[in-house]
Amino acid sequence: MPEEARPGSGEQAKQYALGRLRESILRGGMAPAQRLVENELAEQYGVTRASIRAALLDLASEGLVERIRNRGSRVRVVTIEEAVEITECRMALEGLCAAKAAEVATDAQIDELTDLGKAMSEAVAGGDPVSYSELNHELHTLIRVVSGQRTAVALLERLNAQLVRHRFQLALRPGRPRQSLSEHLAVVDAISARDPRAAEGAVRAHLSSVIDALRDD
């Protein structure tokens, strides 16, 4: 990797380490409760230990890392109870975004949402839960972007980062993608019909189903 892409110290080094660590946690490269040893990470990423420590502090504020007194840091474990609480918060915020999207979506954006729905249907028909999980994430992201509700989007990005492991596990559960698909298509249909109330209701119904699935875990 070019040297300029791996600055050894300073703000750039912290931001580089922060990006790499965040990506590794979100993509499952680092397991829940895994210890994060500053010296090892500094060597791995080619930055100073101070840069790693600063990055870990930022990740702790995002809820991805847990700082343990006199024991350093570890990847934070999100319990089922916490995942349910986070999803309850998502219900209000994502419902708002869906309602806004139904009000303001352009024809091109509705076409994009429809295409994602079709791709999700194909992933379920093809028995590809990993692709389905990725498309699921893309759909929720697009709805938030279309909504233009920047405050809700910022809050959701922080909440959703903590649910990556649970979301992926649900996608792999037998039968879950097929059930989830119909719920997502209902959201797309409501936005396409430019019906804010129906869009919000469809999102709430979907996330209520997610909560039920989490509690069955």
141-172 tens-digit pLDDT: 999 999 999 999 999 988 887 787 677 677 77
pTM attached to this predicted model: 0.74
CATH 1.10.10.10 boundaries in the chain: 3-75
Taking only the tens place, the pLDDT of each residue in 179-216 is 899 999 999 999 999 999 999 999 999 999 999 998 88
Q: Which CATH number fits domain 3-75: 3.40.50.9100, 1.20.1420.30, 1.10.10.10, 3.40.50.2020?
A: 1.10.10.10
In the chain, which residue ranges form alpha helices assigned H by DSSP? 10-26, 38-45, 49-61, 80-104, 107-125, 129-147, 150-161, 164-172, 176-192, 196-215
Q: What is the pLDDT of residue 2?
A: 43
Q: Which pLDDT score is estimated for 3?
A: 41
Distance of CA 160 to the CA centre of its chain: 4
Q: What are the residue ranges of CATH 1.20.120.530 in the chain?
A: 80-215
Alpha carbon distances (Å) from 140 to 13, 31, 42, 68, 117: 31, 25, 35, 33, 11
The CATH homologous superfamily for domain 80-215 is GntR ligand-binding domain-like (1.20.120.530)
